Structure 1
């Protein structure tokens, strides 16, 4: 594989770059570059393929941020639920999807966004509000 697109993203390069919500030496949290409002990625800074490759410190940091981010999304958006998953089928750098299922989403809409009619909005404003929860 050519250079990892997620490692490039962490340097601010490439198509995956989205507004950064939180970043430190261990993890990187950013809103999706495109798609529905409230679709966020949590990634370890270190290039690792999957959860089994995380150090205990990386796993703990991801877990704490996941919970804080879910509470932040619930506080800042009108949501039915906040979901998360790790698949890693296309890119071998662990990246956890955390996303809001917005209130008013049709029952027959797929559980993952973006679905037709998924809320769009001012991502930069949302990112700033989410940052306050993760400080």
Structure 2
């Protein structure tokens, strides 16, 4: 897979889908379960496992965590951990994975993924293909439960 042709524009924030979204409650990716001071967390519609959330930096366009001030970095990571704690407490996975990459969308975001003994990537990474759509009712129920834990 090659870098996107508009990579320079994405890095500059001129073609950044996360910036363009604003802070809506629903996007194609998923539903917002958390609106923090510096981040939003979206519960993914497509996933190989229940308990896959992406925490997105909100504010100015930032690509790398090292571009945050110390205060911003502290707040961002505290919010990522709050989301992760709610995912852990609701789903009770055997492990949580945290990925901060941005190879497709260069805007600071962290994937928080629940991992299970029998998941499709047991003992290694999950498959690098488009995951299936989750059952709508289960997905919405899970999102509501995690949202409730985050509001407590």
Task: Provide the TM-score with structure 2 as the length reference.
Answer: 0.71
Structure 2 unmatched runs, 5+: 1-8
Structure 1 unmatched runs, 5+: none
Correspondence 1:39 to 2:52: yes
Map 1:1-135 to 2 at 5 A. 1=9, 2-12=14-24, 15-16=28-29, 18-36=30-48, 37-46=50-59, 47-105=61-119, 108=122, 110-112=124-126, 120-121=134-135, 122-135=138-151
SS of the residue corresponding to residue 64 of structure 1 reads helix
**Structure with bigger gyration radius:** 2
Question: In 2, Cα distance between the equivalents of 1:83 and 1:33?
Answer: 18
Structure 1 residues 105 and 20, CA, compared in 2 at 3 Å: closer, same or farther?
same
Question: In 2, Cα distance between the equivalents of 1:70 and 1:108?
Answer: 20
Aligned-pair Cα RMSD in Å = 3.0
CA contact (8 A) 1:86 1:96 kept: yes
Structure 1 residues 53 and 109, CA, compared in 2 at 3 Å: closer, same or farther?
same
Structure 1 residues 107 and 27, CA, compared in 2 at 3 Å: closer, same or farther?
closer
Task: Provide the TM-score with structure 1 as the length reference.
Answer: 0.79
Structure 1 residues 114 and 56, CA, compared in 2 at 3 Å: closer, same or farther?
same
Question: In 1, Cα distance between the equivalents of 2:20 and 2:119?
Answer: 34
Deviations 1:68-115 (A, max 9, x none): 222222221141101101111122211111110024336756423678
SS of the residue corresponding to residue 125 of structure 1 reads helix
